[in-house]
Structure 1
């Protein structure tokens, strides 16, 4: 039958896709049951049950050739709804039907292989992975909080012992019949006593751990090996007991001796200490800096959120008031309690306290620094935490200026002016608050920042010898008067003098009366001390900075001009980049101007004047000091253990007591590193400890442990040494062609 084979292949592909879909559902459900119960028997039962259900629902065998023909007719226009003719014998068809059969077969042959049968394999894949992830999560939750899933994990948590050396068959091995581990948490944690049989312990710092071990048989001594420290158990009645306070994380194991003196060792178990975290203190709804005028309501509302993992014991406010300035500044510290008693033992609390600056006896110009301090209930010493420091300032209404009679000198430097960093902070604050303030207030604050930028520029300009605005204004008046006289004498004024800047006339108001420009020029030319004096009228000569620093400072001043311009134009966003550039240059100048002088702690003895220049060196000896340092290589015992393992592997020597001690030392070295990364090193540490058991002393175990120890070793440090170099004419020509020396 022409084309019938193609339809049969399509039918088989359809059935196979249904079987694959059923298999994915079965794997997902079977894996879910196994991961949830950790029991292979339950997993197999779930696999079989889900397989029966999936096959019954999907029924892959029910897909017949009629279903395939119907799907082909509905999805391929080339079939012309006549694909059923391909399944009919040719001798039963009419001539017209044969012609149609041939046409449909020839058109379906190239396209039928690309037609995909209907299936839900993608959906089944998602369901499979979802069930597996759900099984993993459920198994973890049951293991962590619901006990041991599966019923057989309890044996994994039970302490097991194995002999260190091979024993005769007649020797009866004492059996551990009962294990009780009691964890007594500190009283302040309010956690109940925990009784468990799991030797892997996780508890709070300061907890008391009590181990009780009961054996069936005669046992001489039981000992704990904790990171190289060996602690003996105390025998009480029929059990052995050990009590220890948890102060550090680590790994431990047990050893005991029977009546015949044979040693037995257990597996390695973890001891994890959880630190009591300090309280978390946060102040909300309060700016870091608060400013008040003299007539404002000087009150602050402090909202503090405090939390702790086991409970808060106390909280209070530390406030410091500073009065005065300079060397006469005085500080007064006060402890302010919150209104009402702080509830002890709460893990979360929200405290509110108003701060009245008048009640703290603060005057204009005073500053207040305050923060919240909290203590938890840890014993014997509580954890102390504090919030960030906040500031409150009452603006001063009086500014004193120092002046000398006769205007011989004026100190215009204020006690305080904003730094460039403070200007940046205030500008960013203004930009952030722009949507919430009025346009008038925004322009006022932007203009005030521009004025502060100008003041800062003038203060830095004094280092360059620039004139202050007061001197410039006075110089301008004298300049106009002088030009008026000069114009009246010559009858014609220079039109460019109004726009030029002449240093010779800027300070005329402080000079003596002039007798004429010609005499002045003659005196300046004839002054023999002109080259040796410090001329303050020249800005380039009025500073002690080196030329590179002067150029940097001049760049900073030019950038400050642009920053001030945009602030005056109410454009703080455009001013901010210039302020950052100016700050970077100023910091660079500060760093380059620093000088470090190394202190030399040697005072030579006084020289006798009668022996100076005499040439007598009889009692003078050279000072010679030699000191040897012993280089201690890291992981020394681990390196020796690797070498010893290689000997045991190659030469098949007998494992002796020295080897046991060496591997114990190597395990203690590795345990120090495994505390910080237990998942990475616990397997290596366990393999090293298993070598103390006679049943594990095989060549394969030796190689596995050696491989793990090699992965732990840090890379060797480069040691300076002379390297042998072979130079010949052929080698040099070869290296030259390779371009090594280019």
Structure 2
């Protein structure tokens, strides 16, 4: 019975698939027809996608579900006896007679459904596709629609360069026009794009390209020039007209000027020159921590994986690795250039580069540090763009450091006993454990208690870096229970044994260790409550200290917590249990110190020479205090544009007529707007053309005035002042919040 339902589902899927195939055939025929008419691949592709969606929506293959399939089979297969629907119902809900009928239908459909074809119009769709393809081929051969192809392939080719007279007096002679114009863009050789020919005067190309203009006039012209942002470049006469060449180095605007035989000067509209910058390569390092630490016994390998991309092609890329040896003034640096595992082909736009850095192969030892970054160059000419990644660090931990020491008879240790380093505490603890069998119990407990105090002093000292100005908190009240089997018989007289052997300054004199800055202040009802208390970052709170970044704060907090345990066991005369905590605290302290290190290249410094005759004399006769008074005047930015907007408002209202002095004003406004439009020429092109038509007396009408005024207003930057702002918030917290946002002066 399940076999019959399975064949029913297969029949349904075949039906849906044939419906989709019909839609694809219809769409393919229409798309090929459009391609032959327009001769544009992208237009044919868009037509195909839109046609597929349209015919799929018309055919609605999703409506051919199991219920529709069951109804179709009941109507076309007599052996089904209109009982196909029984296959879609749960068997438990059927009677014995229905189950028998279901079994019979399942057997019949298993035999018959393979020979039955779902309803479709596949042949019709195939014939329509062949007809559309044949019709399109005929149109293409007979060139019935040549204008459509030219319009789509060169949508802006019909934009011809038009000229108008610069003189406001009517010109009796006709204006020379361009019969043919050709603009060729020659790209730099490293881009590998060759050249492109267009008749669109608005040019957008990569910086460094060369632009060639060829113009052919229908009448004789005199001294034609190319005007690029005020720079006049004469055009050279050729066999058919005039030509000029210009390297594209920056964005801007240009126009053409010439005179006719009668001496009348003509100029064209403004057109944009947009130089697209060649961006430097982009480097991304994948899955690598910025700091990597290795123990001496670790396998010292750094797996470096990166992706390097460039818009036009990569020239070369490598790794700069610097090994640092030694500390202090004896530090030495060795720099190496390492190649990637993969060979980099010139001109590749995207590569995945990997490298395994072996610290042993770099001859690194314990305590040495490796700084490395990736450097990449593109093929830009004449000077390549360069990019470099962030610097990454690899460090081999130095767990044993050298300590300065002298013989007891040769010097005096000036380091106070109450402030020792963690490494020194470890050495003293190990010495105490070693001397335990040979010293008395009282001396052992006294020395253990002293080490506990030293551990406390060190903890308080490091606590200052977390913002602690006094001891952070009391020791935990509940002490973990001792291991079973240990004999700790403490009587009432022995409960305060550590106090008996404490330093005198362990309690009252504790302020000698850490300077106390905090004082208790009793809160009274007279003190006003600070409204910003809940919003401020309180540096007095140890948890909100910002001396370190979050990862370092976490490590230092762990180290302080471990020091608690180390001190606890020393106070309980258990130096053996304290020693592992001390080693762990030392590990965190070393990691914090190494993480906070910053590598910079050494640079030289030459101090100014000192006059030996005046050195150490103490005379300050010629030494004078330096003072300087300077008055500067700030020019108002875009003053001409603002004045032009006001003048245009008067012209729009009809209050005054256009004057000759206005030409100078609009020329200045155009120069200021051109400076703004260098980065984005297309945005202000229409406004500049309107200004130029006002200067040339060809656009002095109400419509052009309004267009130019709107464009100039949009070009003006927004002013930071807020005229007429009033203080409307009287609530204290809102006033302080708005003050922080600089709403008020």
Superposition TM-score, scaled by structure 1 size: 0.51
Say whether the 8 Å CA contact 1:401–1:412 is kept in structure 2: no
Query: What residue in structure 1 maps to residue 194 of structure 2?
Result: 192
For residues 240 and 366 of structure 2, what CA distance do their matches in structure 1 show? 79
Matches within 5 A, 1:82-121: none
2:692 is the counterpart of 1:685:
no
For residues 414 and 626 of structure 2, what CA distance do their matches in structure 1 show? 61
Deviations 1:75-95 (A, max 9, x none): xxxxxxxxxxxxxxxxxxxxx
For residues 148 and 201 of structure 1, what CA distance do their matches in structure 2 show? 18
Post-superposition offset of 1:202: 0.8
2:373 is the counterpart of 1:371:
yes
Query: What residue in structure 2 maps to residue 638 of structure 1?
Result: 641
Matches within 5 A, 1:59-208: 148-149=151-152, 153-155=156-158, 157-166=159-168, 168=170, 170-208=172-210
Query: What residue in structure 1 maps to residue 301 of structure 2?
Result: 299
Query: What residue in structure 2 maps to residue 61 of structure 1?
Result: none
Deviations 1:573-597 (A, max 9, x none): xxxxxx9xxx9xxx9xxxxxxxxxx
Query: What residue in structure 2 maps to residue 337 of structure 1?
Result: 339
Closer, same or farther in 2 for the Cα pair 1:151/1:330, shift >3 Å?
closer
What 5-or-longer segments of structure 2 have no aligned partner? Answer: 1-33, 39-57, 59-147, 426-454, 473-488, 520-537, 546-552, 566-587, 597-617, 724-745
Deviations 1:662-706 (A, max 9, x none): 323211211222344556544333322222343422234234423
Closer, same or farther in 2 for the Cα pair 1:299/1:718, shift >3 Å?
closer
Q: Which structure would you say has the larger Rg?
A: 1
2:496 is the counterpart of 1:497:
yes
Say whether the 8 Å CA contact 2:691–2:708 is kept in structure 1: yes
Closer, same or farther in 2 for the Cα pair 1:624/1:290, shift >3 Å?
closer
2:695 is the counterpart of 1:699:
no
Superposition TM-score, scaled by structure 2 size: 0.51
Deviations 1:532-556 (A, max 9, x none): xx99962234334643799656997
Say whether the 8 Å CA contact 2:367–2:395 is kept in structure 1: yes
Between 1:234-243 and 1:306-315, the stretch displaced more is: 234-243
Deviations 1:84-131 (A, max 9, x none): xxxxxxxxxxxxxxxxxxxxxxxxxxxxxxxxxxxxxxxxxxxxxxxx
Paired residue secondary structure (2:377):
strand
Query: What residue in structure 1 maps to residue 68 of structure 2?
Result: none
Paired residue secondary structure (1:154):
coil
1:547 to 509, 518, 541: 518
Closer, same or farther in 2 for the Cα pair 1:366/1:702, shift >3 Å?
same
1:413 to 421, 437, 451: 421
Matches within 5 A, 1:415-430: none
2:508 is the counterpart of 1:506:
no
Say whether the 8 Å CA contact 2:306–2:352 is kept in structure 1: yes
Deviations 1:407-464 (A, max 9, x none): 87467436999xxxxxxxxxxxxxxxxxxxxxxxxxxxxxxxxxxx999945414886
Closer, same or farther in 2 for the Cα pair 1:542/1:355, shift >3 Å?
closer
Closer, same or farther in 2 for the Cα pair 1:201/1:146, shift >3 Å?
farther
Paired residue secondary structure (1:632):
coil
Matches within 5 A, 1:448-597: 457=459, 459-461=461-463, 494=493, 497-498=496-497, 505-507=501-503, 538-544=509-515, 546-547=517-518, 552=541, 560=557, 564=561
**Equivalenced residues, count:** 450
Closer, same or farther in 2 for the Cα pair 1:709/1:355, shift >3 Å?
closer
2:675 is the counterpart of 1:672:
yes
Deviations 1:187-243 (A, max 9, x none): 111111111111111111111112222212121222333334443333344523222
Query: What residue in structure 1 maps to residue 393 of structure 2?
Result: 391
What 5-or-longer segments of structure 1 have no aligned partner? Answer: 1-32, 38-56, 58-144, 418-452, 468-483, 509-533, 569-578, 588-603, 609-621, 721-742
Closer, same or farther in 2 for the Cα pair 1:644/1:506, shift >3 Å?
same
For residues 165 and 424 of structure 2, what CA distance do their matches in structure 1 show? 80
Query: What residue in structure 1 maps to residue 354 of structure 2?
Result: 352
Query: What residue in structure 2 maps to residue 271 of structure 1?
Result: 273
Say whether the 8 Å CA contact 1:454–1:564 is kept in structure 2: no
Paired residue secondary structure (2:704):
helix
Say whether the 8 Å CA contact 1:228–1:664 is kept in structure 2: no
Say whether the 8 Å CA contact 2:282–2:310 is kept in structure 1: yes
Say whether the 8 Å CA contact 2:456–2:563 is kept in structure 1: no
Say whether the 8 Å CA contact 2:160–2:178 is kept in structure 1: no
Deviations 1:377-432 (A, max 9, x none): 11111111122322222222523334566687467436999xxxxxxxxxxxxxxx
Query: What residue in structure 2 maps to residue 446 of structure 1?
Result: none
For residues 352 and 334 of structure 1, what CA distance do their matches in structure 2 show? 17
